[in-house]
Chain A
């Protein structure tokens, strides 16, 4: 009896201490793959935005000077020593960080990974920027949005064996019924080589004179296709879209070869990672399969059986926002 009383007292005391801690500032560490990379600087911007929204949060943005697991382990060790409340890490290595992160979790620190994941035993959950079904839907939607009357589109992929691209194209095919009037006339492979992608894009325009859009879900392909369209004098006739990086696509968006394209938004990603870390560290949200965690303006995420969640549709970049992001990543 007395033992359980003692336990109860201790538990109450702990709960009180936790309550006291909650009233203070929650310190969330955002660990980048390396400092000085535009993508992560932008994620930090999102984290600060989330912190301002939440009110009682301090963001510690940190990371090694180069993209090594050793550097990240050092950084995380120092964060453990500082007794931060949560660590959100984009990992340089899936497995190497696990022992250190486990130690952090043993000390009561909430650990999540985002962008680049850690093995399940080293984190409470992982936040993916998007998911295959969302990407598959986005790439066809990007083309369809600029084709109100429908038309022919073609896919310029990476290699025939690229797992990611094949899954995205498969997911795209599943939702084709939602886009009546859009007809995928060909899927060709540029092997992620600039010259082959360029040639394949030329071939598409030759063999399908009525082609309205080329969807390239690969950063080499989308740039090469945009250049091929420009050189063929078909800007305005053939819209190049898909997945690319703003810094690489800026010129082609301005020239009109590409109306819009998509990729994750690092600001939203940093924002969501912070929201999740805060929810897990303070509000009693639990990271278990099937759990739903609210992420402020981004809605909510649901964890799958591997403890992973997908944030949102890839973010669309067009002439309106390309300048803002082309300097970021």
Chain B
């Protein structure tokens, strides 16, 4: 059993007590302490900015051309906070409870409670920075609802909430750059963690423009590098999103927790063909107003608009009357897959269901008519006004759908299908967000701690900013307070020398394979294996086969990949090769983890373990733990368990009916 260092005391007071008693670093000492932050999404940018404001000397790294590009920018729907501005019964406890339940009782109570506690501060901070959240006519902040909850606690900025929050954090970061507290290294990729006497004391980074390797010292290293959804090749992640920094940390001894907990998002634009390079999410907020259905008859040939209501199966409303179209993501995805597998899918591939706005357009139209006092309005006028309202709420999403598919979603129902979106698993961290390597931290999606086996919508932005703005500023100081007695380590130290040599040798080895197949082709093949066997449903036999397949793919990759260009130049193919090599190794671990977890929970659905109604069947007796994997040798991991103790919430079978 591993110890998460959760503070003693009542759940309500743990974080308050921790903050009251943690060690501090005085301002003069902070100025002398360098800290490394890798990744500049919501977690990284907010951490780098906050630590810079506090006086630390921060070095921040991102692989994109600017910190503003990090993939947090693509988050659409919103950010949760327990403000209870709607007077609809929300509270810190309810946000905490919904998150634990949504995660199917596989997350850590103390971390989730802290997340709910600081959620309100996040909104205040963002407003102060000038984030233009949606507002009501009275000038106050607007809210909407999201999956897995029955209150309205989601703050948003049209369909671009992630963009606006990231720009807020990015601006705070750039302000610290201007003040000289943060040094920014864009177009840099971290390729190893440097350890001295067992503690993380720096990184080896590659300048992606020149190809040069650089050594950077830091009293602590914070990995804010996002999730690993791109292991599936097709996902809603950005093309560059990768696991490399986290994987290097894993190779240096950091445990990797619950890697098989991945989130398949129900509302994405379906795959159109083999050329597909990525999938596009249609925000969960669309499930607020859209109705999801398939035809009642197998082999239905009529167009969607010609199928009468009596011949439609609104399967989420039918199966889950209490939550309807707003069930959590894992439940909605599996239900859609079930219908498609049973032959009711729509579109040319039959791997899609309808997301229909006709009813919402009419409903909003009628409200407008009544507001305007137009009692004699025709049906056409009602529809036209309704479309205006829908356009204001979801316009950018509808436009995006039209551009990608060539269809007009105001006229015909959208076709959607689940796609890989988020990874709940990640580097194991304790209550202080420290990994099993002292001095090495993981924040945001890169860690595993808050979402259990399934993340609720609008909670990723909340967690990234919670970790960066409000958690790490306290927990880092608690550990760095003891480091002030240690002098900075020069980058000429043998540990830096050795780490750089290993990185250089690996790059040279990759480059010298000189095989015939492109990096991309290997990535696509890896993605197919993992999607088929470690995707929406998993079986023992399938996972065993996948492990063998991934091992074979690894051999083939290291003997036949072709990387054009030179090492010491801007070479995106080489960058990609480095990342895909790590994805292949991670893919194996995901299957190992999925095989070992002989239960179904949240996004992890083992076909062998389900209720008669086809819902996930947990085994709390045997699997109420975090699976934290330690790498021993190639293809060999040791399992460490962190027992999950529920002191406040009584786990039960999740029920959204």
Do these two chains interact?
no
Q: Which residues does B use to contact A, with CB under 8 Å? A: none
Q: Which residues does A use to contact B, with CB under 8 Å? A: none
